[in-house]
Chains A and B, each alone.
With several copies, the nearest count.
Chain A
Amino acid sequence: MRSAIVDRPLDPTVLLAEVASTASGASTLFVGTVRRVNAGREVTGIDYTAYGAMAERELAAIVAEAAARFGCEQVVVEHRIGTLTLGEASIVIAVSHARRAAAMDAQRYLIEEIKRRVPVWKREHYADGTREWVDPTRPHATAGAP
């Protein structure tokens, strides 16, 4: 099991290879990418920032929980920080498991818990030149910054 907060482009192929095992019958990859439109606004890029030490601790805790709860062969997660352009990957989650259903259950658990708990923030850049911190607790409202 491995997880990291990194400040360089992510390579899903490397993570997929890292979880490969002849004990597993299924491998899954989840890749989160920067989308052109969010909440009806045109996005041109995203700054991701993290509370590094806590983010690494929380990410490792979630990976350990998923591995134990679902009995995964391997779990590897990388979350990128820094400024990302359209289409770039912000997170890659790779899971391998003897059984496909459990691999997919673990994949979903991982992304949902990461979104809920890991201290990472994103500031979207919009086509109109403005930038805003995304606040998932206030969907479709302008968030946070005064």
Chain B
Amino acid sequence: MNLTVLLFASWADALGSSVQVEVPVGARVADVLASVSALAVGRVLPKPMVAVNHRYARADATVSLSDEIAIIPPVAGG
């Protein structure tokens, strides 16, 4: 399935505000992150978290086409 993944901050500077990745049906958060990271090969980017539908997601959670998926670089609010 083809997923749209939102990017922010340093990841958005490197790859744009979103990217498309192709992952198998039943793919997990870790698979999505690996696919997005492959697009950034050779660049130094901080290790991110992944959010699914506006919540931090575990690496082993499965994703589906209807999910809103985002790469969350280290946050620095406040």
Contact = CB atoms under 8 A, between A and B. Distances in A.
Touch A–B, Cβ below 8 Å: yes
B54 A54 contact: yes
A144 B72 contact: no
Contacts of A118: 75, 77-78
Contact of A51 (B6, B10, B44, B47): B6
Contact of A116 (B13, B14, B45, B75): B75
Interface string A94-134: 00000010000000000100111111111100000000011
B54 A144 contact: no
* Residue from B51, B55, B77 having most chain A Cβ neighbours under 10 A: B77
B1 interface: no
B54 A53 contact: yes
A12 B32 CA distance: 41
Interface in A32-72: 32, 48-51, 53-55, 57-58
B73 A121 contact: yes
Contact of A114 (B10, B45, B70, B77): B77
Contacts, number: 99
B-side interface mostly: loop
Interface residues of B, number: 24
A146 B51 contact: no
A131 B6 CA distance: 22
B13 A146 contact: yes
A76 interface: no
A133 B9 contact: yes
A77 B70 CA distance: 24
Given A49-B8, A144-B9, A145-B13, A135 B74 contact: yes
Interface in B29-52: 43-47, 51
* Residue from A48, A49, A51, A116 having most chain B Cβ neighbours under 10 A: A51
A50 B11 CA distance: 13
